[in-house]
């Protein structure tokens, strides 16, 4: 083994360093008063990590192909690192109130480490270890609120489905091993051909990752877990965990199963249509905002995976990364506001609580409106551009004269119609805030500086990331 | 020597017993045991494939070892969470832990 290979894993090494720094500083400051600097420390460290990820542009291949990075992986790492930075930034009040902020930041950083390892895996063993490293601490984070019934229930559902899905996924990987005799992505791609064994392997493997992305036939845990988890963790689950898993699924489909493309195209099309449509229908009838956001995130997962039905890797991966970037800022804006309101409303997150929100908190409701518009895809905001690029990637290379090409166009068209449906329920929140009258609206409250800063980042992202074409071009150039 | 198909049938049986148990059992611990069955079937698959089909390397064996280790870590966390659930609900039945509903 060549020890110099460790030097190629800079993002992972930096996350390990962050973990150690956080652990030691948690250890040496036992007193509660001296912990004021703990959140700023974590924020600064994650910010440095983001910058570090941005500076790495080289493609590396370490440990005989176990660990592979390309520039698109590096960009995705930077995006996820930025998302984690926002999550940690806005979590300050909640984390300090829980009294266990050290553990929370360590759990979050270790899941991020697992996701980084998963994204840059070049072998199914490495991929599996990264996936588990991401999902086990995440279960602890969901169960973080030890005194809440909902948190315990959500965590139980999460960990059971996570272990079940990873078991199913491993069964699929064992089929692939049996068919190809190797676990390296490159060697599998060279040896694989479509036969019943590999198709079964593909389906099992896909259902395992489908659980993590919460696509529709595998989405049953999502609503309960999202509702039960602490709001900050819900935000983290819905953006970072989902984005990393979606990126990995896309890259494995394109790089490992490249010779079985007609099989997984059909599979993805069915799953995408189901995810978007069913999640939209369920989201309409939700009264609980976090549950509502859970169904919204299932439908957004369908949109993210639209990029997988395209034929061009560069186009697909850049549109997926861009979509995840926009989704991170829009969703984090929503979850930051939910978190602020929850803290001032005795932990309640019903949609009806937002009635008359505009009268008492005009600024927050304005930001919420922008975020909802972006999630729904209304033009001046970034969400519209991300949806546009994903649709474009979905029909990329689709030939209208062939059956598959027609289906690709049909799927994108169904997704387009569903955008209109989704506008209805996103605007329901806006209607509650601006139009509906309430006898006892929420009191006017001032948020702390961290929340303000996080909201400022998210809002400027929503407004600027779409208009500045430079960002998409930068992602596309690197992919 | 025992043909590889026999191992395949055994692991397939174990896998579907696990899936069936996971879906039908209403007890959290029993569900966890069913998941362990699934993981064991995976281990059998990897070990048998490695020994019978690809005896030149040890990839499958290594995967089995890692999978055993990881599943132990997973069930430790799952048990801790189930204990927490039991403290809140005084029950480990799935039907009784439905605090959140539509």
Which residue ranges make up each domain of chain B?
4-90
Give me the pLDDT at residue A197, please.
92
Residue B34 has a pLDDT of 95
Give the domain range for residue A225: 3-478
pLDDT tops 70 at residue A167: yes
Nearest C-alpha of chain B: how many angstroms from A409? 34
Q: How far apart are CA A298 and CA A238, in angstroms?
A: 9
Q: How far apart are CA A372 and CA A114, in angstroms?
A: 30
**Residue B93 bridge partners (DSSP):** B27
**Could you give the 3-state DSSP secondary structure of residue A438?**
coil
Contact criterion met (CB below 8 Å) for A109 and A125: no
Cα separation, A13 vs A384, in Å, equals: 36
Residues of chain B with Cβ-Cβ distance to A167 below 8 Å are 18, 35, 38-39, 42
Nearest residue to A235 (alpha-carbon basis) of A451, A49, A390, A19: A451
pLDDT of A474 > 90? The answer is no
A375: pLDDT strictly greater than 80: yes
For residue A178, list chain B residues with Cβ-Cβ distance below 8 A.
Answer: 8, 45, 49, 53
Q: Is CATH 3.30.420.40 what the domain over B4-90 is classified as, yes or no?
A: no
- A286 CB neighbours in chain B (<8 A) are 102
Instruction: Give the CA distances from residue A353 to residues A227, A338, A366, A368, in Å, rounded to whole numbers and listed in that order.
Output: 16, 11, 16, 14
- Residue listed under structure tokens 């529709």: A216
Task: Please tell me if residue A149 touches chain B, with a CB cutoff of 8 Å.
Answer: yes
Which residues face A60 on adjacent strands?
Answer: A69
The average confidence (pLDDT) of chain B is: 91
- DSSP secondary structure letter of residue A441: P
Q: Does A159 touch chain B (CB under 8 A)?
A: yes
Mean pLDDT, rounded, for B74-88: 93
Is A219 within 8 Å of A289 (Cβ atoms)? no
Helix (H) or strand (E) holding A61, with range, is strand A60-62
Question: Taking CB atoms and an 8 Å limit, are B59 and A152 in contact across chains?
Answer: no
Which candidate, A392, A379, A223, places its Cα nearest to that of A299? A223
For all residues of chain A together, what is the average pLDDT? Answer: 90
Of B41 and A397, the one with more pLDDT: B41
- B66 and A CB contact within 8 Å: yes
- Chain B residues whose CB is inside 8 A of the A168 CB are 19, 38
pLDDT at B102: 52
What pLDDT, on a 0 to 100 scale, did the predictor assign at position A33? 65
Q: Is B84 on the interface with A (CB under 8 A)?
A: yes
* Least confident span in A78-82, A366-370, B79-83, B92-96: B92-96
* Structure tokens, A389: 């690029």
Task: Give the tokens for residue A72.
Answer: 């698109």
The pLDDT score that the predictor gives to residue A240 is 93
pLDDT value of position A217: 87
Q: Tell which residue, A371, A160, A342, has the closest CA to residue A234.
A: A342
How far A178 CA sits from the closest chain B CA (Å)? 6
Q: Are A323 and A386 in contact (CB under 8 A)?
A: yes
| In the predicted structure, residue A117 carries a pLDDT above the cut 90 | yes
What residues in B contact A150, CB-CB < 8 Å?
99-100
The per-residue pLDDT for A12 is 92
pLDDT digits (tens, 9 = 90+) for A7-50: 888 899 999 999 999 999 888 876 666 678 888 899 999 999 99
pLDDT band at B101 (very low <50, low <70, confident <90, very high): low
Number of domains in chain A: 1
End-to-end CA distance of chain A: 30
Three-state DSSP state, A69: strand
d(CA A125, nearest CA chain B) in Å: 6
Residue A176 · residue B59 · CB < 8 Å? no
Give the pLDDT confidence score for residue A445 in this predicted structure: 83
Burial environment of residue A197 by CB neighbours within 10 A (0 to 12, 13 to 18, 19 or more): middle
Chain A residues touching residue B82 (CB < 8 angstroms): 156
- The better pLDDT of the pair A4, A245 is held by A245
A and B: number of Cβ contacts within 8 A:
127
pLDDT tens profile A179-234 = 998 999 999 999 898 899 999 999 999 998 999 999 988 888 999 999 999 999 99
Whether residue A440 is predicted with pLDDT greater than 90 in this model: the reply is no
Whole-angstrom distance, CA of residue A371 vs CA of residue A330: 5
On the question of pLDDT at B33 being above 60, the answer is yes
Whether the predicted interface score ipTM is above 0.90: yes
- A143 alpha-carbon distance from chain centroid: 19
CB contact under 8 A, A159 and B78: yes
């Amino acid at each position: 083994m060549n020890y110099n290979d460790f030097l190629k894993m800079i993002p992972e090494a930096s996350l390990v360093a962050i973990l150690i720094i956080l652990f030691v500083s948690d250890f040496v400051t036992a007193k509660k008063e001296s912990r004021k600097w703990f959140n700023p420390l974590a924020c600064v460290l994650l910010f440095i990590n983001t910058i570090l990820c941005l500076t790495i542009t080289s493609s590396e291949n370490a440990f005989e192909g176990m660990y592979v990075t390309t520039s698109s992986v590096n960009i995705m790492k930077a995006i996820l690192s930025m998302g984690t930075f926002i999550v940690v930034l806005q979590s300050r009040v909640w984390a300090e109130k829980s009294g266990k902020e050290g553990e929370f930041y360590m759990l979050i950083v270790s899941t991020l480490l697992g996701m980084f390892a998963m994204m840059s895996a070049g072998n199914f063993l490495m991929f599996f270890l990264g996936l588990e490293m991401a999902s086990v601490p995440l279960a602890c984070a969901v169960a973080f609120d030890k005194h809440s019934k909902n948190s315990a229930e959500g965590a139980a559902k999460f960990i059971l489905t996570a272990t079940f899905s990873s078991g199913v996924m491993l069964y699929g990987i064992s089929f692939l091993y049996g068919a190809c005799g190797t676990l390296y992505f490159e060697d599998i791609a060279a040896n694989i051909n479509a036969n019943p064994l590999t198709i079964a392997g593909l389906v099992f493997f896909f259902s395992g990752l489908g659980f993590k992305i919460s696509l529709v036939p595998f989405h049953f845990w999502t609503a309960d877990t999202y509702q039960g988890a602490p709001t900050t963790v819900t935000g983290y689950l819905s953006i970072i965990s989902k984005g990393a898993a979606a990126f990995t699924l896309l890259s494995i489909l394109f790089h490992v199963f490249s010779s079985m493309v007609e099989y997984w195209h059909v599979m993805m099309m069915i799953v995408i249509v189901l995810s978007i449509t069913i999640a939209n229908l369920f989201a309409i009838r939700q009264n609980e905002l976090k549950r509502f956001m859970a169904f919204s995130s299932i439908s957004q997962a369908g949109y993210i995976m639209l990029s997988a039905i395209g034929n061009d890797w560069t186009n697909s991966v850049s549109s997926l990364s861009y979509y995840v970037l926009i989704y991170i800022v829009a969703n984090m804006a929503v979850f930051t506001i939910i978190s602020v309101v929850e803290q001032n409303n005795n932990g309640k997150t019903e949609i009806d609580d937002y009635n008359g929100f505009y009268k008492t908190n005009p600024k927050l409701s304005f930001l919420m409106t922008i975020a909802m518009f972006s999630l729904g895809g209304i033009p001046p905001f970034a969400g519209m551009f991300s949806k546009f690029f994903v649709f474009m990637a979905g029909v990329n290379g689709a030939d209208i004269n062939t059956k598959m090409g027609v289906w690709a166009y049909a799927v994108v068209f169904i997704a387009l119609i569903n955008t209109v449906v989704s506008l209805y329920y996103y605007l329901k929140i806006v209607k509650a805030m601006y139009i509906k009258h309430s006898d006892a609206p929420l009191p006017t409250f001032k948020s702390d500086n961290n929340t303000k800063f996080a909201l400022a980042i998210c809002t400027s992202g929503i407004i600027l990331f779409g208009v500045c074409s430079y960002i998409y071009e930068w992602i596309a150039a690197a992919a | 020597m025992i043909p590889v198909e026999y191992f395949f049938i055994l692991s397939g049986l174990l896998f579907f017993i696990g899936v069936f148990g996971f879906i039908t059992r209403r007890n959290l611990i029993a569900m966890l045991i069913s998941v362990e069955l699934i993981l064991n079937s995976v281990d059998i698959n990897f070990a048998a494939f490695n020994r019978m089909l690809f005896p030149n390397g040890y990839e499958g064996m290594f995967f089995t070892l890692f999978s055993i280790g990881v599943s132990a870590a997973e069930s430790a966390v799952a048990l801790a969470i189930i204990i927490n659930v039991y403290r809140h609900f005084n029950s480990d039945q799935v039907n009784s832990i439905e605090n959140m509903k539509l």
